């Protein structure tokens, strides 16, 4: 606590400024300020978050439950309850968001029921060993979403039906991030070794991340063109002259994942490289002295040191990947049909047509799926692992 006494300089010098009005412990204003100093200091940051983060979040939530029309004089907002969400999950847009549901195949039933069985067994194990109310609720949400997604794929992909933008997004997230992690990890490990020209490779591997995603989209669209692109002779040589990747749903999705991976492997690479280089040399040297092999050193010393960074980088990457929009927009415009349309692109197309309610509803559905998957990943895998290490 500052007082007039301890603010007075002991040594001779310039005349002290009269601060008594601010420091008067008896004044009601200064008393109030003093009592609320913490709140006042934190206020600017809180206001910034409220204005730039919370307000848009609340506003978009309101939009998600409304139909909006722009007219002379401003917006015309009509509250429609859950209608925008209903349309996506049960209504005319179900095929677009979840997929086309017809008869479920035997394989579909097997997949759906197997996943359900595994999840129920996992829940049973949890309830009988380490039950807490909060943990149970969290796991219940994770289990419900996992079973729902499993049945969605069972009824679409495993039953010969096209899946919707949710399935496409999950494909980009899990396949794309998986590829990016494995290649990024491998490259980072290689560049952390004492190999010739490693500085060159470090820069070369990092460049793609600095290119705008729109540029990447156009470049890959051109590279993958089998009739006019620079690799046309190669495609022709492989007998693919008349093959059009963009007209085949799986080929188009794979090409988008390749483009996305090309751009984002450097992100995984650069962070994991830093992690590899931070592994204490003396640990490794000690292991070598003890006669450990390369694989043993990697598994027992390097990997545990790198793991926390790897988990963090993948969490960031997964969150980013859920929002993929540029590449499918540029490379295929979501086609053929809706085969490469991600949820973000789905939301963007609705927004572009001024269907703001649908656009916001899709954005919230995306937020829900992202939060459930990322929180589940962090709580159930990362924290569990950390607890085990402790």
Partner 1 sequence: MKTTFKSLLTGAMAAAMMTGASTATAGEFDGVTVNILTRPGPVIAGRLVDRGKEFTEMTGAEIRVNEVPFAEIFQKLLTDWATGTNSIDVGVFASGWAVELVDGGLVENLDPYIAKDDKINFDDIAPYFREFNQKIGGSTYLITVDGDFQMLYYRRDILEKIGMEPPATWDDYMKVAEAMHGMDMNGDGEADYGSCIFKKRNAQSYFAIGSIAAGFSQTQGTGEGLWFDPETMKPKINNAAWAEAFRVYKDTGKFAPADELNQDIGDTRALVQAGRCGLVIDWGDIGPLSIDEAGAAIKDKMGAVIMPGSPMVLDADSNTLVQCDATRCPHATNGVNHAPYAAFGGWAGAINQKSDQKVKDAAYAFLSYVNQAEQSNVDVTMGWTGYNPYRNSQLNDTTKWIEAGFSPEFADNYLGAIKDSLNHPNMASDVRIPGAQQYTGVVLDRELARFLAGEITAEQALANIEEGWEEITEDFDRESQAQMYKLSLGITN
The count of other CB atoms within 10 Å of the CB of residue 171 is 20
| CB nearer to partner 1: pick between 259 and 334 | 334
The closest of 343, 350, 340, 389 to 370, measured between CA atoms, is 343
Is residue 334 close enough to count as binding partner 1 by CB under 8 A? yes
15 DSSP assignment: P
Please give the Cα distance from 92 to 36 (Å, whole number). Answer: 54
Residue found by looking up tokens 């290689």 in the block: 190
Is residue 217 close enough to count as binding partner 1 by CB under 8 A? no
Interface stretch with partner 1, choices 27-35, 48-56, 245-253, 367-375 (CB under 8 A): 245-253
Interface stretch with partner 1, choices 32-40, 142-150, 188-196, 240-248 (CB under 8 A): 240-248
Please give the Cα distance from 339 to 252 (Å, whole number). Answer: 8
Structure tokens at 179: 């590829």
Single residue of 79, 90, 243, 368 touching partner 1 by CB under 8 A: 243
In whole angstroms, the minimum distance from the beta carbon of 49 to partner 1 comes to 25
Interface stretch with partner 1, choices 10-18, 152-160, 345-353, 375-383 (CB under 8 A): 345-353
Please give the Cα distance from 85 to 57 (Å, whole number). Answer: 17
The count of other CB atoms within 10 Å of the CB of residue 230 is 9
Is residue 263 close enough to count as binding partner 1 by CB under 8 A? no
Please give the Cα distance from 370 to 99 (Å, whole number). Answer: 19
| CB nearer to partner 1: pick between 10 and 242 | 242
Is residue 337 close enough to count as binding partner 1 by CB under 8 A? yes
| CB nearer to partner 1: pick between 48 and 353 | 353
210 DSSP assignment: G
Is residue 239 close enough to count as binding partner 1 by CB under 8 A? no
Q: What angle do CA 293, 296, 298 make, to 5 degrees?
A: 110
Interface stretch with partner 1, choices 168-176, 200-208, 329-337, 365-373 (CB under 8 A): 329-337
In whole angstroms, the minimum distance from the beta carbon of 71 to partner 1 comes to 4
Residues of this chain that interact with partner 1 (CB under 8 A) are: 67, 69-75, 87, 92, 95-96, 100, 162, 225-227, 241-247, 249, 332-339, 349-355
């Amino acid at each position: 606590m500052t007082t007039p006494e301890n603010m007075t300089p002991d040594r001779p010098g310039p005349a002290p400024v009269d601060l008594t009005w601010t420091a008067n412990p008896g004044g009601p204003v200064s008393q109030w300020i003093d009592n609320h100093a913490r709140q006042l200091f934190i206020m600017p940051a809180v206001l910034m978050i409220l204005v730039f983060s919370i307000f848009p979040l609340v506003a978009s939530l309101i939009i998600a439950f409304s139909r909006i029309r722009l007219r002379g004089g401003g917006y015309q907002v009509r509250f429609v309850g859950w209608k925008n969400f209903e349309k996506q999950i049960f209504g005319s847009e179900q095929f677009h968001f979840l997929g086309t549901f017809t008869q479920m195949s035997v394989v579909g039933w097997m997949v759906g029921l197997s996943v359900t069985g595994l999840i129920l067994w996992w829940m049973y194990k949890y309830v009988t060993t380490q039950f807490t109310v909060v943990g149970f609720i969290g796991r219940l949400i994770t289990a419900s979403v996992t079973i729902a997604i499993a049945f969605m794929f069972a009824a679409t992909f495993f039953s010969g039906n096209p899946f919707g933008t949710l399935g496409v997004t999950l494909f980009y997230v899990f396949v794309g991030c998986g590829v990016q992690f494995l290649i990024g990890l491998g490259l980072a490990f290689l560049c952390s070794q004492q190999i010739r020209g490693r500085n060159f490779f470090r820069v070369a591997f990092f460049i793609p991340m600095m290119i705008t995603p729109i540029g990447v989209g156009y470049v890959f669209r051109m590279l993958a063109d089998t009739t006019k692109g620079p690799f046309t002779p190669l495609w022709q040589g492989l007998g693919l002259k008349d093959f059009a990747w963009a007209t085949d749903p799986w080929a188009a999705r794979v090409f988008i994942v390749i483009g996305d991976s090309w751009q984002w492997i450097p992100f995984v690479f650069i962070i994991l490289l830093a992690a590899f280089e931070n592994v204490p040399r003396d640990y490794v040297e000690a292991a070598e002295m003890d006669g450990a092999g390369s694989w043993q050193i990697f598994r027992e010393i390097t990997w545990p040191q790198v793991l926390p960074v790897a988990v963090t980088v993948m969490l960031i990457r997964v969150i980013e990947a859920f929002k993929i929009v540029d590449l499918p927009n540029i490379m295929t415009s979501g086609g053929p049909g809706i085969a490469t349309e991600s949820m973000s692109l789905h939301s963007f197309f609705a927004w572009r047509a001024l269907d703001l309610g649908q656009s916001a509803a899709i954005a919230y559905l995306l937020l829900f799926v992202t939060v459930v998957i990322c929180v589940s990943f962090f709580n159930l895998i990362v924290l569990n692992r950390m607890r085990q290490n402790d």
